[in-house]
Chain A
Amino acid sequence: MTFSNNPWVWVAAILTLCIFSFLYKENPFYRFAEHLFVGISAGYGVAIYWNNAIVPNLYVPVFLQHNLWFIIPGLIGLLFFFRFSSKTGWLILIPLAVLLGTGSGMSLAPTFQTDILKQMQSAIGDATNLQLGGWGLVWGLVTFIGVLTTLSYFFFSREQKGALKISANIGIWFIMIGFGASFGNTVMGRISLLIGRVQFLLTDWIHLIK
């Protein structure tokens, strides 16, 4: 076992251990690493957005190419800073409206097609496509029943009794299976992150594994 000669690896390793120390209990080392991380992230974000958003989209067109139209979106963007004023804070509604309006306008049609139309086509298509045959058809039907019964569970306009209750109860089983799959994947994801850090400590820092 030999330790790394790279001072940055040492910094990263010590900060990693500081964060892990939270597992024992809350302590100043953890607090230091946490605050450092948040501060560096914010600073990095400002620098990145300055160089990749403000400079090419505002500074270069306005000051170097003298394309003055770009001043208008620039000024609308600056209205965000009125958030700090209690009297003129309402001005922030203007850039927010532009942002939400553009976002919704751009995403409405494709989201409707992607999440609703195409999904409905697929759910109905797989359940009725006899050409799929065998297990393909079985799973198509299972998916179709799962979609209907799950939706019926979220149908709150009528009291859940009779057929709706049976359907909603079946829907709960599908929801639980879905949650179980998500939980299993979540555990795997979190453990993968831990493994990534441990691999760094054992490989880059103390060279225990190659």
Chain B
Amino acid sequence: MKILENLTKINRRYIFLLVALAVIFPLVIPMKLPTIPGKYTIKLYDFIDQIPPQSQPILIAADYSPSMMPELQPMLEAVIRHCFAKGIRIVVLTLDPNGAVLSETALQKIAPEYGAVNGRDYAFLGFKPGSSIVMMSIGENFRQAFPTDFYGTPLDSLPMMNGIRNYADVPLVLSIAGSAITQGWINYAHTRYHANVGAGCTAVSTADYYPFLQAGQLVGLLNGMKGASEYEYLNKKNGYSSAAPVATKGMNAVSIVHLLLMLFIILGNIGYLVTRHNQSKK
């Protein structure tokens, strides 16, 4: 019984050490745990997949900063790979000051893999402050919010932007964000301008977006690293990508750590109950 009571007094540093080992071990020795795509990942994937090649581009808003990178960057990369492999054109912008570097890095890394060309297969508009005003400006005309792309080229000079005026000309607005900015895209792009909106968010904020899925305000949702790994799996399954699945490797570690944490929670509760029982006896 003394052992069970001591469970509540374990030095937290031992727990940190065990968590670190539970993270490192599956990363160094891959475990190949199965990936089962969720309903909302499949819905978003299928929505993008049915867009005809070389048709109107989808708009991707990469509204996140480096602190959310492990969850959202693999998501962005997986979606870009899917689009380039299918010949779907993309317009990428960001409403987070730190998002420009991250999304440009992803585009510059992936575009050469698929022979995608800036201005023909994708446009990178960069960062613009004033999120809700930008969202509404795009509803009128992309050129109001972004007269030029990130590199200073006027939008009218980009071949892929011919005939692309506002939300009516993009089949999907995909918000990949680590903050409540996705709600802004739903408010303005979907509710006001009736655009189809999809989302990719950090696991922490996933629960906030389920009501929008249920109400049909989002076409699909990618849930943190899990959502990214599911998208990577679908890309690989359909032969769209042969890149190393970063999020999938991470999910092995997530699974092991979850098991460890569940064990800690159970042991901690047993320890607590035993302590309380002993105290009530005294």
Would B129 and A202 count as touching, CB distance under 8 A? Answer: no
Interface of B is mostly: helix
The stretch from A3-11, A81-89, A111-119 touching chain B is A111-119
Per-residue CB contact flags for chain B residues 10-52 toward chain A (1 = under 8 Å, else 0) read 0001001001100110011000000000000000000000000
Would A49 and B261 count as touching, CB distance under 8 A? Answer: no
Contacts of B246 in A (CB 8 A): 199
How many positions in chain B have a CB within 8 Å of any CB in the partner chain? 54
Per-residue CB contact flags for chain A residues 159-189 toward chain B (1 = under 8 Å, else 0) read 0000000000000000000100110011111
Q: Is A151 an interface residue (CB 8 A)?
A: no
Would B202 and A189 count as touching, CB distance under 8 A? Answer: yes
A193 to B70, CA, bound (A): 6
Within B213-269, which residues are at the interface with A (CB < 8 Å)? 214-217, 223-226, 244, 246, 249-250, 253-254, 257-258, 261
- Looking at the complex, which one of B68, B128, B224 makes contact with A185 (CB distance below 8 Å)? B224
**Quick one: closest B residue to A140, CB to CB?**
B214
Q: List 10 A-B contacts (CB under 8 A).
A: A110-B191, A111-B187, A114-B186, A188-B203, A189-B204, A191-B254, A191-B257, A192-B70, A192-B250, A209-B249
Would B24 and A114 count as touching, CB distance under 8 A? Answer: no
Contacts of B27 in A (CB 8 A): 195, 198-199, 202, 209
* A→B interface (CB under 8 Å): 23-24, 44-45, 48-49, 52-53, 103, 106-107, 109-111, 113-114, 118-119, 121-122, 126, 143, 178, 181-182, 185-199, 202, 208-210
A-B pairs, top 5 by smallest CB distance, nearest first, are A196-B70, A122-B215, A189-B203, A110-B187, A189-B204
Would A194 and B207 count as touching, CB distance under 8 A? Answer: no
Would A208 and B224 count as touching, CB distance under 8 A? Answer: no
